[in-house]
Amino acid sequence: MDRASRKIEHIKHTLKLSSVESRPFDEIKFVHQSIPNINVDEVEINTTVGELNISSPIFINAMTGGGGEPTIRINRALARLAKKNDMGMAVGSQMAALKDRNERRSFEVVREENPNGVIISNLGSEATVEQAKAAVEMIDANALQIHLNVIQELVMPEGDRSFSGTLDRIKAIVEGLSVPVIIKEVGFGISKEVATKLANIGIKIIDIGGYGGTNFAKIENLRRDDTFDLFNDWGISTAASICEVKATHPFISVIGTGGIKTGLDIAKAISLGASAVGIAGLFLKQFHENNFEGLEATVEKLHFELKMVMTALGVKNIDDLRKVPIVISGETYHWLEQRGIT
């Protein structure tokens, strides 16, 4: 199966798989503050991720590109959404478009729709420095995401089986590129050990892509004729992974992706130390069901909910939200205790 058909299948299976039941932040509780001493209209939600300044703490995370008219439509709508709300947006993997010029259109429309916004390129860790430069140039990107997707590859019958040299390739890209490099997991989380390896080669932004949202082990399983469910419940949860990275590397900016669905989820990810969150599956579903209006309404609701939570906690900005007291229980508490993270 070629890359383009595989991408369309990923979209179909994401829409089929419901992660509504997953509540990745249930074990994180805010401590209620009865005297917040603040008005709703004083709350500001702009944020800084590394050197990227954006008006919203929500990134539209990497999904699609290549694959013709349907992906052009999705990417145009997402880019319009990003422009309207001054949100950061990552495109899907550009590797296919680097190999075949016909695949470029769905990426180029993103920059056309949003000439001045924060747009992020995306490639896998097999990329060379030349490919990284070409991907950034294709959409005049403000940063490059390199995704790590070992589990997805292992579950794919046609997936990669050799994973050596990743860190050296990433290091060469960091040194060869003039824009920041963001390392990104796709649903299995980043550990503190991996964060240390990345910090040592100069990575300053990590999208922890934790367990609890879109699950590529399950999605790839739906594409297989046989069942290979070994990795269906594998991974570091979104909440635990934010803590793994942030507690050990306070100067790395963290994007908390993986199962974010409400403004309360966003507030909790930030209270654990994230500078922003990334959302993919929820936007894809909203666009599928309600077109651009669905996307607009979703972002409006998320921003509204986040501001309400911040008001209840008495915090006026994202930096202060990062410092509010929280209580962590259950599996997340035990995970962090055993991992020596306090």
Q: Which residues bind ligand FNR (CB under 6 A)?
A: 10-11, 14, 61-64, 92-93, 122, 145, 147, 184, 186-187, 209, 213-214, 257-260, 279-282, 284
CB of 115 to ligand FNR, least distance (A): 23
Residues 6+ apart with CB under 8 A from 312: 30, 32, 33, 36
Least spacing, CB of residue 48 vs ligand FNR, in Å: 21
- Report the C-alpha gap between 257 and 132 in whole angstroms: 23
Nearer to ligand FNR, 47 or 149 (CB): 149
C-beta of 255 vs 328, nearer to ligand FNR: 255
Tally Cβ neighbours within 10 Å of residue 134. 16
Least CB distance from residue 152 to ligand FNR, whole Å? 9
For ligand FNR, the closer CB: 91 or 313: 91
- Whichever of 20 and 297 has its CB closer to ligand FNR, that residue is 20
Dump the DSSP string for 169-199. HHHHHHHH-SS-EEEEESSS---HHHHHHHH
C-alpha dist (Å) from residue 255 to 190, 229, 258: 11, 28, 10
Single out the residue of 182, 186, 122 nearest to residue 154, CA to CA.
186
Q: How far is CA 336 from CA 180, 193, 195, 245, in A?
A: 29, 14, 16, 11
Q: Are 284 and 295 in contact (CB under 8 A)?
A: no
Q: Which of 43/257 has CB closer to ligand FNR?
A: 257
- Shorter beta-carbon distance to ligand FNR: residue 88 or 209: 209
Least separation in angstroms between CB 27 and ligand FNR: 17
Residue number of the CB atom closest to ligand FNR: 213
**Which of residues 213 and 263 has its CB atom nearest to ligand FNR in the complex?**
213
Mode of pairing for the β-strands spanning 28-30 and 326-328: antiparallel
Give min distance, CB of 315 to ligand FNR, in A: 24
Between residues 85 and 145, which has the closer beta carbon with respect to ligand FNR? 145
Residue 340 phi/psi, 5-degree rounding, is 70, 30
Cβ pair 62, 92 in contact under 8 A: yes
Residue 307 sits at the vertex; the CA angle it makes with 317 and 74, to the nearest 5 degrees, is: 105
CB-CB contact of 44 with 317 (8 Å) = yes
Nearer to ligand FNR, 117 or 281 (CB): 281
In the complex, least distance from residue 311 CB atom to ligand FNR, rounded to whole angstroms:
25
Q: Would you say how long the chain is, in residues?
A: 342
Closest contact distance (angstroms) between CB of 17 and ligand FNR is 9
Determine which helix (DSSP H) or strand (DSSP E) holds 153, and give its type and residue range.
helix 150-155
We find the least distance from the C-beta atom of residue 113 to ligand FNR, in angstroms, to be 19
Asked whether 52 and 145 are in contact (CB, 8 A), the reply is no
In the complex, minimum distance from the CB of residue 236 to ligand FNR, in angstroms, rounded to a whole number: 13
